[in-house]
A and B are shown apart, each in its own frame.
Chain A
Amino acid sequence: MQGLLAWVPLLPLIGFLTLVAFPLFNRHEPSQRTVACIGVGSIGIAALFTAIVAISVFWKNPSEIVNIALWQWMLVDNLELGFNFYIDWLTLVMLMVITGVGFLIHLYSVGYMREDADFRRYFAYLNLFVCAMLILVMADNLVLLYLGWEGVGLCSYLLIGFWYKEPANGAAAQKAFIVTRIGDTAMAIGLFLLFYEFSTLNIPQLTAAIDGPDINNEVVTVACLLLLGGAVGKSAQLPLQTWLPDAMAGPTPVSALIHAATMVTAGVYLIARMHPLYLLSETAMTTVAFVGALTLLLAGFSAIAQSDIKRVLAYSTISQIGYMFLALGVGAWSGAIFHLITHAFFKALLFLSAGSVILSLHHEQNIFSMGGLYRKIPLTFICFTIGCACLAALPFTSGFYSKDHILLSAWEFHQGINILWLAGILGALVTGIYSFRVLFLVFLGREGSASSHCNDANTPVMTIPLCILALLAMIGGLLAPPLQAVFGSRPDEDHSAWIEGVAIAMPLIGLAIAWKLFIYQKKSGEKRSSIMQFWFSGWGFDWLYEHLLVKPFKSLAKINHNDIIDNLYKGTAALSRQLNALLSSSQNGQVRWYLATFAVGSVLFLALLVAL
């Protein structure tokens, strides 16, 4: 049974290779049906295998750990790395999310991409992504994890720029790749540092090694902060969050899979996986918490001001991952993972519903052109409403349970009112406002300019995943995974009722504010107040980076257009060429000239001898 787990990442890889190699064996482009069977089938079987193993091996035993050693990868001096998988409940949860939600999104993509000429390329990339993501979560050493980490980055780049004929999409893809690369570099340095300190990069060995007596806490702190750098880049947290809103240039199911459910939560997974290390360093923990708190507020306010339906969701993703980082920072590891799961459900649901809206409106994404759509696409409306309710954490939805867990952990962390808890509560209010704002503007209220030519583009292959995700988003709150074996259990504390009350009330207040402000807002989103404009631009981070980094770099590049360093080598070459010309002109073949120089030289030499 456990052996099936090795097939889980292999199947998407086989799917990818089959799709890529198709033209080698067949002159004709395969039919969409064939491509869909391979692309969706590989993930479907992977999901099935995961479920079988989950039920047969892990279900009864929460502390079960499966090790699968495939082969030795590299052996250099005392660095020994295997291509080995390490599966505990944390990994299993990630596996279920990736294969399960991934399968639903693949299925939805069959409908969403049906009119696209590059159907095969799309599914090839998507399968490769799932393979890389699975390697990331199953890796038993940090280098293998890094392989998956870079693999998902590559697929993210390829899929953001999927419609590469539009230059803006290519620019967005490059931005995502370069910005995450900054974090990845920090992470790589962190790995070197960990290896330097502990002489191993195997995760179980690392977590065992930190119990040792002579641990240099400063090195651990720096390593944790560097790993956090990688997580911040991948999970689009402050200050590397600017790539995610632009990443919405890719197809909508890609945004659902990569930029909401799985890849962007890899940072959360990394920190949760390395949590014994973080526990050693209070500085690192505090940094994680504050990064999360700041990000969730910044992104939340930005989401209020957006006019593109996908950018609203992108900022809300940043904000929700901010909640996960906040949970990680206060040591609520299982809370972070729980929110990761519920977020994967409801955010995938929201993105896929948004995809249905976009497709029904013939690729209109401006929410101010929409409105009153609930009559035309009722099923999408219901799904989107469920998603918004979960996002805003209305009571009894999945988002409520997980977010409540995080807020209570933040409260417990300092035993009272503290800045992290306040940030979380304020964030909950903001979340309520922006999630219902987009719901009201798109589905309720007056009809917008694009609403009139809306025809329902949902096909069964799209509605089925939507319904399953809606169900999961509703009941996901009951599916809290048994992660005590991984993270250790925490004692339950009693909280006074008002804390719970505040957590419940905040989204409702947000809903009321959104109703008051946006339900009948005029459809002229172009005029914004200055604060809204500031939020719309994502707190000016793009502007800041443009002027602080991009422009100086470009002008430097311009100055260095002819490669200043190269001049050194060019100069050397020119000098020797000049010398060569000089000397070879003396070799002119004239015997009498040789004789004359010989005579003059002899005279000079003799004169020198006499003079000395």
Chain B
Amino acid sequence: MPIETAPGLEAGVLLASILFCLGLAGLMMRRNVIFMLMSVEICTNAAALMFVVAGAHWGNADGQVMFIFVVTLAAAEVAIALALVLQFYHRKHTVDIDQLNELRG
């Protein structure tokens, strides 16, 4: 049953949405792979925030557990992604994502 005293659910959801949209916009607009990775971090954090807000709303600790998972996942993802970025830069001498367009129809 929801806990009425929790900070405003709507504010939390709104914040998460805005964060996610910012991340998504950055992901679509940035061509630099490093910046795109950072945008992905924002997106994942927005999702993680959503878990926390929802957990707080339902008075359930699972949301926070999910947050730990998301952070771990983000760390792992960044480790792999940065390795890929390094390889990319090594081969192309650039970090412009638009240069990676050889797999086209």
Contact = CB atoms under 8 A, between A and B. Distances in A.
Interface residues of B, number: 13
Interface in A155-213: none
Contact of A589 (B24, B27, B104): B104
Contact of A592 (B28, B103, B104, B105): B28
A599 B98 contact: no
Contacts of A599: 24, 28
A589 B102 contact: yes
A595 B100 CA distance: 14
A592 B26 CA distance: 10
Nearest to A586: B105
A599 B28 CA distance: 10
A588 B105 contact: yes
A576 interface: no
Nearest to B29: A592
Contacts of A595: 27-28
- Provide the main secondary structure of the chain A interface: helix
B97 A591 contact: yes
Interface residues of A, number: 13
Interface string B65-105: 00000000000000000000000000000000110111111
B24 A592 contact: no
A587 B105 CA distance: 5
Contacts, number: 31
Most buried by B among A590, A592, A599: A592
Most buried by B among A585, A586, A599: A599
Contacts of B27: 592, 595
A584 interface: yes
B105 to A, nearest CB: 3
A583 interface: yes
A419 interface: no
B28 A589 contact: no
A587 B102 CA distance: 10
B105 A583 contact: yes
A318 B29 CA distance: 92
Contact of B98 (A583, A584, A592): A592
Given A583-B105, A595-B27, A596-B28, A589 B100 contact: yes
Nearest to A581: B105
Contact of A590 (B24, B29, B101): B101
A591 B105 contact: no
A584 B24 contact: no
B100 A592 contact: no
A597 to B, nearest CB: 10
Contact of B100 (A584, A586, A591): A591
B28 to A, nearest CB: 5
Interface string A562-602: 00000000000000000000011111111110011001000
A595 B31 CA distance: 12
A587 B29 CA distance: 19
B31 A592 contact: yes
A588 B104 contact: yes
A588 B101 CA distance: 7
Interface in B25-54: 27-29, 31
B104 A587 contact: yes
Contacts of B104: 587-590
B84 to A, nearest CB: 12
A587 B27 CA distance: 19
Contacts of B31: 592
Contacts of B102: 589
B43 to A, nearest CB: 11
Nearest to B97: A591
B103 to A, nearest CB: 5
Most buried by A among B97, B101, B105: B105
Nearest to A591: B97
Contacts of B29: 592
A583 B97 CA distance: 22
A543 B27 CA distance: 82
13 contacts: A583-B105, A589-B102, A589-B104, A590-B98, A590-B101, A590-B104, A591-B97, A591-B100, A591-B101, A592-B27, A592-B29, A595-B27, A599-B28
Closest 10 CB pairs of A and B: A587-B105, A589-B104, A589-B101, A584-B105, A588-B104, A596-B28, A589-B103, A591-B97, A592-B28, A587-B104
Given A587-B105, A588-B104, 18 more contacts: A587-B104, A588-B101, A588-B105, A589-B101, A589-B103, A589-B104, A590-B98, A590-B101, A590-B104, A591-B97, A591-B100, A591-B101, A592-B29, A592-B31, A592-B97, A592-B98, A599-B24, A599-B28
Interface of B: 24, 27-29, 31, 97-98, 100-105
